[in-house]
Chains A and B, each alone.
Chain A
Amino acid sequence: ETGVTQSPTHLIKTRGQQVTLRCSSQSGHNTVSWYQQALGQGPQFIFQYYREEENGRGNFPPRFSGLQFPNYSSELNVNALELDDSALYLCASSFKPLPGTNEKLFFGSGTQLSVL
């Protein structure tokens, strides 16, 4: 167990809807990263939050947005869902003493999103 929990575990939405995925970081961690893993592929970096500020973003459109709260829990929001958004969404937390450091990530088990 990594101490990182994600909810819900499974979710079904229809095209055009909006979805919010949640992540509870491991205690003491100040950084959260989100990844999208399409079926049969490796995870792709969406963005990272460090101390409630976005600290890096991958090649995803603005309809993918996030929040990190003072207790370091996090949300991933996706607007105007498309069929290709169907994937496993993974959250990973870590403790960074500085924003550019490279620390071990602890992954949650993910939320499986299906868009119909």
Chain B
Amino acid sequence: AQSVTQLDSHVSVSEGTPVLLRCNYSSSYSPSLFWYVQHPNKGLQLLLKYTSAATLVKGINGFEAEFKKSETSFHLTKPSAHMSDAAEYFCVVSARNNAGNMLTFGGGTRLMVKP
């Protein structure tokens, strides 16, 4: 079984300040972890992916995430928020088994960026 908990349903930051979106996961298997972003009326876009290589993963648009096995966390960060970062963000886990590429999504965090 696998699950994902996003600890904040809403996060509000000012433009130019750091972003932290928190995620904890649970998985019976060695997990792959992802962050996806969803802008209104657009499809989900992959920001970054962890698959047991480096624990610090760099993604697109300046985002990065750190895998911490001891804390079962995979928090998403960005040093400086931009207005265009305002969107819904999903932390996702995928188990490495033969059940296909089933992704389990967290409930989402809505990021608001104030001017």
Main secondary structure of the interface of B (DSSP, over half): loop
Q: How far is the CA of A68 from the CA of B97 in the complex (A)?
A: 22
Q: Shortest distance in angstroms between B34's beta carbon and chain A's nearest beta carbon?
A: 9
A48 within 8 A of B: yes
Q: Which of A42, A44, A99 lies in contact with B108, CB distance below 8 A?
A: A42
Contact: B43 with A104, CB < 8 Å?
Answer: no
Contact: B96 with A99, CB < 8 Å?
Answer: no
Contact: A44 with B105, CB < 8 Å?
Answer: yes
Contact: B98 with A100, CB < 8 Å?
Answer: yes
Known: A96-B101, A103-B101, A108-B43. A42 touches B90 (CB 8 A): yes
Known: A43-B105, A56-B99. A90 touches B46 (CB 8 A): no
Q: Shortest distance in angstroms between A27's beta carbon and chain B's nearest beta carbon?
A: 16
Which residues 34-54 of B sit at the A interface, judged by CB distance below 8 A?
Answer: 41-46, 49, 51
Q: Which 6 A-B pairs have the closest CB atoms?
A: A56-B100, A42-B105, A107-B43, A107-B44, A100-B98, A55-B100
**Which residues of chain A have a CB within 8 Å of any CB of chain B?**
2, 4, 31, 33, 35, 40-45, 48, 50, 55-56, 58, 90, 92, 94, 96, 99-110
Contact: A42 with B106, CB < 8 Å?
Answer: yes
Contact: B107 with A42, CB < 8 Å?
Answer: yes
B94 within 8 A of A: yes
In the bound complex, residues from chain B placing their C-beta under 8 Å from that of A58 are: 102
**Which residues of chain B have a CB within 8 Å of any CB of chain A?**
4, 32, 41-46, 49, 51, 90, 94, 96-108
Contact: B94 with A102, CB < 8 Å?
Answer: yes
List 17 A-B residue pairs with CB atoms under 8 Å apart, sorted by A's residue number.
A33-B101, A33-B102, A41-B107, A42-B4, A42-B105, A43-B105, A45-B104, A56-B102, A58-B102, A90-B43, A90-B44, A100-B98, A100-B100, A102-B101, A104-B46, A105-B101, A109-B42
Contact: A100 with B97, CB < 8 Å?
Answer: yes
Known: A42-B108, A90-B43, A109-B43. A104 touches B49 (CB 8 A): yes
